[in-house]
């Protein structure tokens, strides 16, 4: 048995050897820290913006929380108009096999370009799976459309035929076609679901359709080349953009009469329209003027404008009313505008020739 002295000497030798092995008698190394915990997963998306890219044939999905593109979905030829189902689970996109003819292309040149009607239709995109599921018929050269309150029907403008098609979503059938103004474009359902307005660019009018019967109730003369229409939250007033006049026309819905013309800043070419959630502001894209204007309601006073990018068209507002998303076709991006300061917050690169924008709750968000 070792005595106490022998045991102490052995312990000293052991510790000295351990010190030499750790760096010539230096301090022992600190224990290795435990691995850092993995970063928490990002919070679930609450709201998404969907942007159609006419030349790319795709749909960009943007997180409004991060202002980043989180998906790019192929949908088909020349996607333009875009809408969401009431539950946010389905994105509808208008597709067209007709040739693209911007204003710079003469009508006679455009007439020579070949159309392929097999590409016409309304794409249905599963918003959760982020994939195209089927294509509904939508009449010839569908451009814009709106969805019935219950999501069962689509009302589609057929630009090259001067008609609007009423499409049953479940059966995928065109139930009815309705004669409207020449070169129809903008389509908007009234808040109560009883009316649909269809703008006729060539005839400078709006056709009013009864959704219960599909009958035309009347046509309202508005400004030259009307592009878009939107209703006030109570449905009593409608606003129609008039591109060539640079104005927004105010319509009394019950009387089907124009009651006012809101003059926009010089050089404006009024295009897309969006209403703030509280109904106190109307936002309008001004095309070649490269701006968006804010119109105060109900005074109809233009209060602010901001430069956003080349030829802005599609526009949508977030659910909280704090931001606008504006599609700039020539620059292949979307401008985000802070509505409080009415300044540009940022720009988001998307596909080629972004056209339409819609914003809604992400699938499954509450």
State the pLDDT confidence band at 41, using cuts at 50, 70 and 90: low
Better-predicted residue by pLDDT, 336 or 5 = 336
Class of domain 47-361 as given by CATH: mainly beta
State the pLDDT confidence band at 39, using cuts at 50, 70 and 90: low
Task: Decide if 89 contacts 128 (C-beta within 8 A).
Answer: yes
Tokens 């000295």 sit at which residue? 16
119 pLDDT more than 80: yes
SS3 155: strand
Which tens digit of pLDDT belongs to each residue from 331-356? 999 999 999 999 999 999 999 999 99
Q: Which of 19-33, 68-82, 111-125 has the highest mean pLDDT?
A: 68-82
Nearest 5°: the CA angle 67, 343, 262 is 115
* Arithmetic mean of pLDDT over the chain: 90
Q: What is the pLDDT of residue 92?
A: 98
Q: Is 211 left (phi over 0), alpha (psi -120 to 50) or beta?
A: alpha
pTM score, whole prediction: 0.86
Going from N- to C-terminal start, the domains of the chain cover: 47-361
Task: Decide if 84 contacts 50 (C-beta within 8 A).
Answer: yes
15 pLDDT more than 70: no
Give 90's strand partners. 126
19 pLDDT more than 50: no
103 pLDDT more than 70: no
SS3 112: helix
Q: What is the pLDDT of residue 59?
A: 98
281 pLDDT more than 60: yes
The DSSP result for 45-72, as a single string, is P-EEEEEEETTTTEEEEEETTTTEEEEE
State the pLDDT confidence band at 7, using cuts at 50, 70 and 90: very low
């Amino acid at each position: 048995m070792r005595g106490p002295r022998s045991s102490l000497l052995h312990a000293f030798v052991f510790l000295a050897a351990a010190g030499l092995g750790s760096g010539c008698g230096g301090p022992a190394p600190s224990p290795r820290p435990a691995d850092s915990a993995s970063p928490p997963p990002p919070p679930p998306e609450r709201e998404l913006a969907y942007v159609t890219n006419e030349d790319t044939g795709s749909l960009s999905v943007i997180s409004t929380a991060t202002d980043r593109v989180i998906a790019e979905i192929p949908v088909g030829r020349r996607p333009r108009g875009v809408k969401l189902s009431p539950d946010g689970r389905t994105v509808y996109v208008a597709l067209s096999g007709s040739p693209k003819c911007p204003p710079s292309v003469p009508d006679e040149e455009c007439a020579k370009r070949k159309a392929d009607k097999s590409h016409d239709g309304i794409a249905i995109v599963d918003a959760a799976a982020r994939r195209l599921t089927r294509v509904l018929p939508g009449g010839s050269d569908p451009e814009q459309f709106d969805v019935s309150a219950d999501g069962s029907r689509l009302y589609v403008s057929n630009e090259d035929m001067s008609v609007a098609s009423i499409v049953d979503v479940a059966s995928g059938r065109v139930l009815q076609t309705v004669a409207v103004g020449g070169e129809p474009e903008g389509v908007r359902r009234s808040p109560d679901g009883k009316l649909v307005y269809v703008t006729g660019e060539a005839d400078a009018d709006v056709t009013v359709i009864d959704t219960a019967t599909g009958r035309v109730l009347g046509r309202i003369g508005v400004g030259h080349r009307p592009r878009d229409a939107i209703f006030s939250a109570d449905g009593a007033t409608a606003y129609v953009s008039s591109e060539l006049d640079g104005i927004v026309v105010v319509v009394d819905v019950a009387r089907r009469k124009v009651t006012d013309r809101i003059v926009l800043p010089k050089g404006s070419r009024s295009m897309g329209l969006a209403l703030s959630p509280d109904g106190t502001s109307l936002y309008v894209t001004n095309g070649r003027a490269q701006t968006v204007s804010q119109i105060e309601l109900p005074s109809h006073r233009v209060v602010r404008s901001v430069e956003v990018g080349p030829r802005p068209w599609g526009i949508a507002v977030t659910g909280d009313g704090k931001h606008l998303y504006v599609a700039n076709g020539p620059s292949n991006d979307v401008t985000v505008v802070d509505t409080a300061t009415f300044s540009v917050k940022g720009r988001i690169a998307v596909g080629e020739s972004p056209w339409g924008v819609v914003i809604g709750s992400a699938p499954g968000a509450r």
